[in-house]
Structure 1
Amino acid sequence: MSEENYVLFDVEEGVATITLNRPERRNALGTAVFKRLYEILDEVERNDDIRVAILTGSDCGTFCAGLDLKEAAELRETKGIDILDIIGDPSFPRLSELKKPMIAAINGYAPAGGMLMVQACDIRVGLAGAQLAITEVHRGRGSPWAVSSLWQMPSPALLELMLVGDPMPIERFHQIGYINYLEPTVEKVLERAKALARRIAVAAPLSVEAAKASIKAAEDLVTAHALKEASRLHDKAYKSEDAIEGPKAFSEKRKPQWKGR
């Protein structure tokens, strides 16, 4: 598969559908995926014919597996660089700062960076029986981006996600209002997302833009400083030997040997 097809892009009647398309890697976010996503998000923002976008994954049981840890390990081994040196800010601000509404059609498991993608979307439709997780504590990485979820869920639930690192059923997220809708099949997830998107697409564009911007502005009053501080606090973890060991152990399918440095 060519890198161009790692992320599919379709526009119909004002609705853009963005599909992560690496089923062989569980739709993981590698450097080529980020590059293509940046291009697509720029087009969504620039194109006045696009009123709203849907983000989903190819139907492989995983919405998005998060950062491609195999590629991260390979980059460290062959070039001696961290994958974040290439892709930049792990919070992926290009998605969260999009002016147009983004709907997540969560059609499977969404750990780590997959959860980040969900968090960055404005409306969320999920597959019943799916799971979400923040697994970074078991990979030697970090999740400063998760601070934004304090605006969206109770802190005990967020701390359990970040500290325990185990998957939670999507039904629990629905109960606390983090997920808007649950649907029984992958097809119904996308159907619901498209129905919501079509309603947004025919609404007054300036009103839609102002509605999203006002909520984002209120959220930023609370989280902007927190995100900067969280990134600073995670800097030690990202630069540690454990940050190398975690992706390497994942790639080699073994238990990591943490050093705490």
Structure 2
Amino acid sequence: MWKNIIVEVREHTAYVTINRPDKLNALNKATLQELQEILGQLKVDIEVWGVLLSGTGDKAFVAGADIEEFVGLSATTSKELTSWVHQEIMDVLYHFPKPVIAAVNGFALGGGLELAMACHIRVASEQAKLGQPEVALGIIPGYGGTQRLPQLVGRGKAMEMILSGEMISATEALDWGLVNHVVPQEQLFSSCEKILEAIYRKSPQAVALAIDAVNRGLENPKSGYEREIAAFAEAVETQDFKEGVSAFLEKRKPNFR
């Protein structure tokens, strides 16, 4: 069905794989359009509880945007492109109501790193390399890198990565807080699946509310507290809350819907 992306659902997890190995899985507009449609479908699919995002092969997660498509861009068309990618893909991922884990299986550069940063959790293989090399092309990160990278690693380290354009290793990314875990390549998917399985045992309604509250606070700390209070109030009205409390008092595992 999809030309540039492979989608497979197994045991309630949607495995979404950017499939352009000859281009190191670079994001061209056609791939981004497919990703937009796929995310829209997965968001409402009740059989899908979470998403594992990766790239084909063991060389690259996503090596960046497809630079060939940048040739001849005007200020107007580039603004339209980046606005669309922000609103329809990166922000959708960032606010996705189900857990999304990026399995960083190789190079995550430029738009590829920005795609990974839009996910909720990042797990990298030991061979992964991460970076924002845009300044070497005379541009800057345009898919959220100047905003999400400082949130994850702090202003100083983000400035170093963005201004130098140099890549960092998976170990450095772990030390800096850019990824959650670094594992051997052969354990990458099983490590991601283990995290998702732990989340699946919890209330899906509470998970969605927690994602929203955390994101709201990062965007605006004051409104984040307000959203946490409102989300907590929403949670206590759900069937999941009743089931969770009953299971706790009855000393059994909860059976969430």
Distance in 1, matches of 2:208 and 2:193, equals 19
SS at match of 1:103: strand
2:197 corresponding residue in structure 1: 198
Q: Distance in 1 between matches of 2:85 and 2:138?
A: 14
C-alpha spacing 1:177/1:81, structure 2 compared with 1 (3 Å): closer
Q: TM-score, normalised by structure 2?
A: 0.78
Aligned-pair CA distance for 1:214: 1.3
Structure 1 partner of 2:178: 178
Show CA shifts across 1:31-68 (max 9, x none).
11011101110011111221111110001401101110
User: What's the offset of the Cα at 1:130?
Assistant: 1.6
- CA change 1:195–1:5 in 2 (3 A) is farther
Residue in 1 aligned with 2:28? 30
1:55 aligns with 2:53: yes
CA deviation after TM superposition for structure 1 residue 205, in Å: 0.6
Quick check: 2:124–2:182 contact (8 Å CA) kept in 1? Answer: yes
C-alpha deviations, 1:80-134, integer Å up to 9, x for none? 9846645644543222222211101000011100110111111111011321001
Residue 180 (structure 1) shift: 1.2
Deviating more after overlay: 110-119 vs 150-159: 150-159
Q: Which amino acid aligns with 2:212?
A: A
**RMSD between aligned alpha carbons?**
2.4
Residues of 2 paired with 1:192 and 1:143: CA distance?
Answer: 29
State, as a whole percentage, how many aligned pairs show the same letter. Answer: 25
What are the ranges of 5 or more consecutive residues in structure 1 without an aligned counterpart? 225-261
Corresponding residue pairs, total: 218
Moved over 3 A (4+): 79-91
Structure 1 residue 12, shift from structure 2 partner? 1.5
Please tell me the residue identity of whatever aligns with 1:158.
A
Counterpart CA distance in 1 for 2:78 and 2:60 is 22
1:141 aligns to 2:128 (yes or no)? no
Q: Which has the larger radius of gyration?
A: 2
**Separation in 2 of the partners of 1:36 and 1:209?**
24
Tell me, in whole angstroms, the C-alpha distance in 2 between the residues paired with 1:58 and 1:207.
32
Q: Which runs of 5+ in 2 are unaligned?
A: 224-257
Q: Relative contact order (alpha carbons < 8 A, sep ≥ 6): 1 or 2 greater?
A: 1
SS at match of 2:3: helix
